[in-house]
Amino acid sequence: MDRTQLVGQSLPFVEAVEKASRASGVDRPVLVVGERGTGKELIAERLHHLSPRWRGPLVTMNCAALPEALIEAELFGHEAGAFTGATRARAGRFEEAEGGTLFLDELATLSMAAQERLLRAVEYGEVARIGASRPVRVDVRIVGATNDDLPGLVTAGRFRADLLDRLSFEVITLPPLRARDGDIAVLADHYGRRMAGECGWTDWPGFGPAALAAMEAHRWPGNVRELRNVVERAVYAWPEPGQPVEALVFDPFASPWRPVGRGAEVGAAEGGAAGDVRAAEALGAGSGVEGAEEVMDLKAALLAHEAAILSRTLERHRFNQRATAKALGLSYDQLRHCLKRHGL
C-alpha cells in the first residue's frame, strides 16, 4: 500500500475516509474493518494525524506477526527475570505509545489471555509489565484493525464480547476495490505514473483500452495492494515507454514450468485471471455435470470459458500471440480471429 496517500473518488471510499476524519477528533477507540489490501493502516494513520494526539507517537503492532507466547510481553512489557531470556526490563507498546496512538493490526488473532489484559488497559487506562508488582497508568488511544468478523468471533467464543464493546465506539468499514466504481482507473494511473517516473520515463502514456478493460474485469482479491503490484510490474516490464501499456500479468507465478504440488494445485483452483473467475461462475463453479445443471445460457457459458482459456494462455506466454497460438493448437490467424471475437 501507498503509505502516504489515500487515492480514490468513489462514493463508498469517500464516505469511509470522511467517517475516519470525523472520528479522528474524538478520543475514543476505533475499529477499522476491511479485506486485506484495502488500506486499513492508512486509515489508522489518518485517525492519528488528524487527532489532538498528532504530536505523540503512532506505534504499530501486527498481532499476527508474533508467537502467542510473546504477544503479551510485546504489548505490556516485562521486568528483568520475568521469564527465560528476559535479561533486562523492557517497556511494551502501550508505554511506547504514551500520549499518542497504538495501532493494533490483525486484532482478531490475539489470544484470550491477551484480550483479557487488553480489556483492563482499555477500561482502566493502566498496564502491568509481566513480572511487575504494580501497574502503571498510560494515556493511549487504541485503533484496531481486522479482516475478520469480530461479532461472529464473539458468537463463536473466540473474542471477548466486553472487549469488543469497548473497542467499537466507532467502526470504519473499508469497501473492497471491486465495490469502488471508477477507482480502478484512478489508482492505476496514480501508481503507473509514479512507477514510470521511477523507471526514468520522460512521459506517462497511460494504459491502453485492453489493459484497462482487463483491470476492470479482474476481481482484485488483494485489493489496492494487488493492483499496485500489477500496475508497477506492467510498467517496469513494458518495452515501449512511448506507447500505452497493454500487457498485464495478474499472476506472477504463472509459468509453464511452475512446480506442480499441493500449493500450485490450490492456487490453480482458487485464483487466476479474471476470466477464470467469470468462466467458473458462468459454468456454475462446479466440476463435470454438476455445474452444467445451473447454466441458463450454454452459448454464453461456452464463450466465457473460451475467453478465460485465451486470457490465461496469453498471460502464461507473456502475451506473445504466436506462442499462444502454438500452445492452443491454433494457427496465428485463428488465434487473431478468436481474440477479436472476445475483444482481447
For the cut 80, the answer to whether the pLDDT of residue 303 exceeds it is: no
Q: What is the CATH number of the domain that holds 205?
A: 1.10.8.60
Q: Select from 175, 196, 229 the last residue of a domain.
A: 175
What's the rounded mean pLDDT across residues 314-340? Answer: 82
Q: What is the model's pLDDT at position 15?
A: 97
What's the rounded mean pLDDT across residues 106-125? Answer: 93
Whether residues 158 and 221 share a domain: the answer is no
Over the stretch 221-236, which tens digit does the pLDDT of each residue have? 999 999 999 999 999 9
Number of domains in the chain: 2
Whether residues 55 and 185 share a domain: the answer is no
Mean pLDDT of the residues in the chain: 86
What's the rounded mean pLDDT across residues 297-305? Answer: 72
What's the rounded mean pLDDT across residues 198-218? Answer: 95
The C-alpha cell of 186 is what?
A: 484512478
Tell the burial category of 187 from Cβ atoms under 10 Å away from its Cβ (0-12, 13-18, 19+): buried
Whether residues 100 and 241 share a domain: the answer is no
Q: What is the model's pLDDT at position 342?
A: 81
For the cut 60, the answer to whether the pLDDT of residue 285 exceeds it is: no
Q: Select from 147, 175, 203 the last residue of a domain.
A: 175
Q: Select from 149, 175, 201 the last residue of a domain.
A: 175
Q: What is the model's pLDDT at position 220?
A: 96
Considering only residues 333 and 270, tell me which one the structure prediction assigns the higher pLDDT. 333
Instruction: Provide the residue range defining the domain that includes 217.
Output: 179-342
Q: Grade residue 151 by pLDDT with cuts at 50, 70 and 90.
A: very high
- Calculate the alpha carbon distances from 259 to 231, 268, 317 in Å: 26, 12, 16
Q: What is the model's pLDDT at position 325?
A: 82
Considering only residues 167 and 315, tell me which one the structure prediction assigns the higher pLDDT. 167
For the cut 80, the answer to whether the pLDDT of residue 276 exceeds it is: no
Over the stretch 11-35, which tens digit does the pLDDT of each residue have? 999 999 999 999 999 999 999 999 9
Percentage of the chain with pLDDT > 90? 61
For residue 138, count other CB atoms closer than 10 A to its CB: 19
Q: What is the model's pLDDT at position 292?
A: 45
Q: Grade residue 289 by pLDDT with cuts at 50, 70 and 90.
A: very low
Q: Spell out the long-range contacts of 88-93 with Cβ–Cβ below 8 A and sequence spacing 24 or more.
A: 89/129, 91/129, 92/127, 92/129, 93/59, 93/61
Q: Grade residue 88 by pLDDT with cuts at 50, 70 and 90.
A: confident
Q: What is the model's pLDDT at position 321?
A: 86
Beta-bridge partners for 26:
none
The answer to whether residues 32 and 23 touch, using CB atoms and an 8 Å cutoff, is no
Question: What span, in angstroms and rounded, lies between the C-alpha atoms of 190 and 6?
Answer: 11
Question: What span, in angstroms and rounded, lies between the C-alpha atoms of 296 and 282?
Answer: 9
Considering only residues 105 and 286, tell me which one the structure prediction assigns the higher pLDDT. 105
Q: What is the model's pLDDT at position 304?
A: 77
Whether residues 81 and 216 share a domain: the answer is no
Q: Give domain status of residue 49, yes or no.
A: yes
Q: What is the model's pLDDT at position 4?
A: 55
> In one letter, which amino acid is 161?
A
Question: What span, in angstroms and rounded, lies between the C-alpha atoms of 45 and 6?
Answer: 10
Q: Give domain status of residue 2, yes or no.
A: no
The answer to whether residues 144 and 34 touch, using CB atoms and an 8 Å cutoff, is no
Going by the DSSP 8-state scheme, the letter that residue 207 receives in this structure is B
Q: What is the model's pLDDT at position 337?
A: 79
> In one letter, which amino acid is 247?
A
For the cut 90, the answer to whether the pLDDT of residue 301 exceeds it is: no
Q: What is the model's pLDDT at position 87?
A: 74
Q: Give domain status of residue 5, yes or no.
A: no
Over the stretch 160-199, which tens digit does the pLDDT of each residue have? 999 999 999 999 999 999 999 999 999 999 999 999 999 9
Whether residues 237 and 125 share a domain: the answer is no
Whether residues 229 and 262 share a domain: the answer is yes
Q: What is the model's pLDDT at position 273?
A: 42
For the cut 70, the answer to whether the pLDDT of residue 270 exceeds it is: no
Over the stretch 116-145, which tens digit does the pLDDT of each residue have? 999 999 999 999 888 888 889 999 999 999
Write out the DSSP string of 262-286.
Answer: HHHHHHHHH---HHHHHHHHHTTT-
Nearest to 140 by CA among 227, 56, 77, 213: 56
| HEC assignment per residue over 156-213 | CCCCCHHHHHHHCCEEEECCCHHHCCCHHHHHHHHHHHHHHHHCCCCCCCCECHHHHH
Over the stretch 238-251, which tens digit does the pLDDT of each residue have? 999 999 999 999 99
Q: Give domain status of residue 185, yes or no.
A: yes
